[in-house]
Every structure is written in C-alpha cells, then in structure tokens.
Amino acid sequence: MTIESVGYMGTVSDAQWALLAPRLGANHWVEGAGDLTPSVVSASARIVRIGAGAAGGRGVRDVLDTPVDVTLDPLGSGTRIDIVVLRRSWTPASTPTGTTRVEIVSAPTLTAALGARRSQPGTTAGDDQPLAAFQVTVAGEQTTVSLVADLRVWAANGGMAARSTDALVAVSSPGTMATVDGVLWVMTVDSSGASSWVRMASPVDRTAPQITLGAGATGISGVVCRRTNGMLWLRLNFTSAHWRSAGLLDLGSTLFTLPAGFRPASQAAFSTAHGLHGPIEPTGAVAIQYNGPPVAAGSPYWWAATYAVE
C-alpha cells in the first residue's frame, strides 16, 4: 500500500491543484462516496480494513492506491473503542515533505477516543482525520470486532455530508454546515462566543404507520402522516364499531393502537367532530370517550392529533 500525498512542502502541479483546491475550506474530507470505506475483515483476528481512495485535510490531499488492512491490538477483557485515522505530520523545514500514515487511537469510549485524537496541523505531532470507529469486545475466550461509527465526511461546494453525528467532532469550525441522515446541522456561535452544533429544520417524513384496529373500530382509511423535528401530525378516517348512548361515555375499548415510532412521548389528547375525544397513551393505545348524541354502529368519523413522538 502506498499513500501519495500532495500539499506538504514542495511543488504542486496545476493538475494536482485542480483536485486539491475545491475542498480547501474543510478541515477533513473524503472525495468519492466509496472512498476509504471501513469494514471488518476478521472479527476473531481483529483485522479491519480501510478501502482505497482519496482523502484530504489541512491543505494536504492523499491517495491510497490499495485497501489498508489494520490489525487492532489485543484486549484482555471488556470492551475498547479503536478509531482508525489518517495522521498527517509536517516535518521540519529541513525536510522537503511531510508524511501521512494510518494510525489507531484507542480509548474506553467513542467520546474519549475522539477527544484523544491529535489536532496540531502544521507540526510534527500532526493532525488526525478520523475515518471509522471499531469496538473490540472480549467475552470469555471469544473476541469480536464491530464497526460502531463511520466517521468519514464529504465536503464540496460549501457544504458537508456525514454518515454519523459523531463525525462532526472533527470538523467543528463555526459556520460549518453538514447533513446527517437528511438532517442539517450548523456550527453556530452565540453571544458569549461559545460554539455548538444546532440541528436545523429536518425534512418532512410522510411515512404512514401500520395501525392495529381495536374493538372500537371496524375500519380505517385515508391515513395521512407528517413528521418533522420530533413532532408528528396524524389524520385518518375510521368507522365506529358501536356507540351505546348519549353523554360522556367511556366505551372501555381501544379504537386502535399506533406502532412504535408513532407513539407519543407522554400521554397526548385527540378530538374530532361530534365530541369524540380521549387520550393517546405512550403505549400507542387510543382510548374511546364520547360526548354527544347517540350514533349508530358503522358511523364514519375523522380523527386527527399532533404530538411529540417517543
């Protein structure tokens, strides 16, 4: 495996500059969607792999011509997090080039490992570009290795994309914008000068739930769902199974049950026309209460509610 680097001391050709310049606004980046892809080669032998491709950071662009296999250190017992990084070191002025190499940063937790990485660009100590976090686990005589976080980031045309919010730790410069799973994050600075990541409005998810009918309804149709920023709006039509009399009446049955992911974080309320109302439980159960004139079984109703999801 050879790492070809451009951007340390020495000449940069016009062709090399054309590849390096577009991403100089980001601390770190990988170029293609499949570049430097992390994977586990052998869990029992603790061998992990970083795929071939191009990556860069701090004014240096590196190309790995072939995949790199790394054997993680043994562990006596318990668990450990190993982060695979590209470490760029800038050698003294008397030496014409710096070096980029694959290294491992280890710690008991992912947060600790990210905090232990080197961040001294322009020095011999160097700067670490995190690529992936692996967890080594030893239980009895068995050793397993799993990929717990893909830490690569992609940067182009003023924005970034990442696979995990953990990857944002290494690119936390004020003004940075990054999308993770369709959610936009922006590194902002408040009036005191403190910087932090702020989650911006997320896209609207229109996935409709699979609803389980209870004893209080014989049919459901026209389900419309909107989810964004932890809030859910749900509307549907249902056909009543039975109503018995006027006045406030708890029928003692469940209209329907919402699946996990569509349930309220705490008890919520709903209401519809004709005085139908009641609670939506964190279990997803929608109980029936009625306050109005008698209606016959089989009557159609619309139902709607807005609440914070679990």
Q: What is the pLDDT along the chain (310 residues), one digit of tens a residue?
A: 789 999 998 888 999 999 898 888 888 999 888 899 999 999 989 999 999 999 999 999 999 999 999 999 999 999 999 999 999 999 865 555 789 999 999 999 999 999 999 999 989 999 999 999 999 999 888 999 999 999 998 887 678 889 888 988 887 777 788 888 878 888 887 778 787 888 886 667 788 899 998 877 788 888 999 887 788 888 888 887 765 554 444 455 688 899 998 999 888 888 765 666 778 889 999 877 665 555 566 777 788 888 888 6
**Residue that the structure tokens 């419309």 belong to:** 224
> Which residues face 83 on adjacent strands?
105, 133
Q: Is 248 exposed, middle or buried (0-12, 13-18, 19+ CB in 10 A)?
A: exposed
Output phi, psi for 67, to 5 deg: -60, 150
CA angle centred on 35, ends 30 and 38, rounded to 5°? 105
Residue 50 CA to residue 133 CA, distance in Å, equals 11
Q: CA dist 43 to 141, 145, 186, 283, Å?
A: 13, 5, 36, 38
State how far Cα 286 lies from the chain centre.
31
Q: Residue 250: its pLDDT value, please?
A: 45
Q: CA dist 200 to 180, 182, 183, 186, Å?
A: 11, 11, 7, 7
Q: Residue 246: its pLDDT value, please?
A: 46
Q: Which residue in 104, 80, 100 sits closest to 90, CA to CA?
A: 100
Domains annotated on the chain, with CATH: 3-199 (2.60.520), 212-308 (2.60.40)
**Residue that the structure tokens 């577009």 belong to:** 22
Residue 59 CA to residue 154 CA, distance in Å, equals 15
- Other residues' Cβ atoms within 10 Å of the Cβ of residue 303: 21
Q: Residue 274: its pLDDT value, please?
A: 63
Q: Is the pTM of this model over 0.85?
A: no
Q: Residue 249: its pLDDT value, please?
A: 41
Check if the beta carbon of residue 290 is closer than 8 Å to that of residue 275.
yes
Output phi, psi for 118, to 5 deg: -80, 140
Q: CA dist 159 to 33, 138, 154, 177, 240, Å?
A: 15, 40, 8, 6, 51
